[in-house]
């Protein structure tokens, strides 16, 4: 263990400390076998609880969260187990801690086969996002619900930016917008955190801060989430429908996101909206237009 002065604190040490704190505050006491009480003043676990579970001293762990000390790989592994980190978050922790090589920035490489899957999906909205969460293809149902993304620039076609835009997302998601945003934001961080200095991310975060400055702590939070299927509501015109969302991993961490209407009535509403929009386009042509 080494201790650095304030002037010597590295950016990686600060990021690692913020990451550990974010995940400590997200884990519940019952997840690690601790009793839940009503007297807790902070969300998640206390520092002393993680320190005990990881077998390290409280003062030292506090310094680690504050970026004032460095840790061995063995100690980080122990803390990762105590925090119940999933695979991607665990890899990120080791990379920031200096014990894994940061991979090169992903380069979007999407094949026509991916767009065919989106185009053939007849059960509700479907779309394809690249490793930076930029929309690259979508079907008519998606365009009918969200509006045609082709007219937007690349930053505004970012899924997180779309979900953070209150004027756009409130009309589709209503009161569920922040919940849906938070769920996808954790996945976005998981895919992009290792490349946070990449110039492609700067305009995305600038746009997020412009759209929702009240959520500034969300944009700086280091918490990550694994990819999980879930159910959500969509407002289609004056109607509300329920869809089940699942995502398939494509090349280079791209995702094919499929939303299936929960009932026949929901599917009818979505299909009618798609026909009314009369977009008359395929995701493949949309992808080619975006790439041009």
pLDDT of 279 strictly over 50: no
pLDDT on residue 289: 40
The pTM assigned to this predicted structure is 0.71
Q: Strand 126-129 vs strand 255-261: parallel, antiparallel, or unpaired?
A: antiparallel
Mean pLDDT of 260-275: 94
Per the listing, tokens 């801060």 go with: 209
What percentage of the chain has pLDDT greater than the value 70?
85
Choice between 31 and 37, residue whose per-residue pLDDT is larger: 31
pLDDT on residue 38: 62
Choice between 24 and 196, residue whose per-residue pLDDT is larger: 24
pLDDT on residue 161: 96
Choice between 34 and 241, residue whose per-residue pLDDT is larger: 241
pLDDT-derived band at 6 (thresholds 50, 70, 90) equals: very low
pLDDT of 49 strictly over 80: yes
Choice between 195 and 15, residue whose per-residue pLDDT is larger: 15
Q: Any idea what the Cα angle at residue 182 is, between residues 218 and 138, rounded to 5°?
A: 120
**Dihedral angle, C-alpha 35, 40, 45, 49, nearest 10 °:** -70
Please name each of the domains of the chain with its CATH number: 2-96 (1.10.260.40), 112-291 (3.30.450.180)
pLDDT of 179 strictly over 60: yes
Distance in angstroms (rounded) separating the CA atoms of residues 192 and 106: 9
pLDDT of 260 strictly over 90: yes
pLDDT-derived band at 267 (thresholds 50, 70, 90) equals: very high
Q: Return all residues near 238 (Cβ < 8 A) that are at least 6 apart.
A: none
Per-residue pLDDT tens digits for 207-228: 999 999 988 888 877 777 777 8
């Amino acid at each position: 263990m080494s201790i650095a002065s304030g002037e010597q604190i590295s950016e990686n040490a600060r990021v690692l400390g913020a990451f550990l704190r974010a995940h400590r505050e997200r884990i519940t006491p019952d997840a690690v076998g601790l009793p839940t009480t009503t007297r807790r003043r902070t969300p998640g676990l206390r520092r002393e609880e993680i320190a005990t579970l990881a077998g390290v001293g409280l003062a030292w762990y506090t310094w680690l969260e504050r970026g004032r000390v460095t840790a061995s790989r063995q100690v980080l592994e122990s803390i990762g187990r105590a925090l119940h980190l999933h695979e991607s978050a665990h890899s990120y922790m080791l990379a920031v801690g200096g014990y894994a090589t940061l991979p090169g920035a992903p380069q979007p490489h999407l094949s026509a086969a991916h767009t065919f899957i989106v185009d053939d999906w007849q059960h509700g909205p479907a779309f394809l996002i690249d490793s930076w969460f930029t929309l690259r293809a979508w079907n008519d149902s998606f365009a009918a619900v969200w509006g045609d993304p082709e007219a937007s620039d690349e930053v505004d076609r970012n899924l997180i930016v779309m979900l953070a835009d209150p004027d756009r997302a409130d009309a589709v998601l209503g009161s569920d917008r922040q919940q849906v945003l938070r769920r996808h934001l954790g996945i976005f961080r998981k895919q992009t955190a290792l490349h946070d200095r990449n110039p492609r991310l700067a305009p995305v975060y600038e746009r997020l801060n412009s759209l929702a400055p009240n959520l500034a702590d969300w944009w700086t939070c280091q918490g990550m989430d694994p990819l999980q299927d879930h159910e959500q509501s969509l407002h289609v015109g004056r109607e509300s429908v329920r869809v089940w969302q699942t995502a398939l991993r494509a090349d280079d961490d791209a995702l094919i996101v499929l939303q299936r209407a929960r009932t026949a009535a929901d599917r009818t509403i979505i299909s009618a909206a798609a026909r009314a929009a009369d977009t008359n386009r395929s995701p493949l042509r949309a992808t080619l237009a975006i790439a041009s």
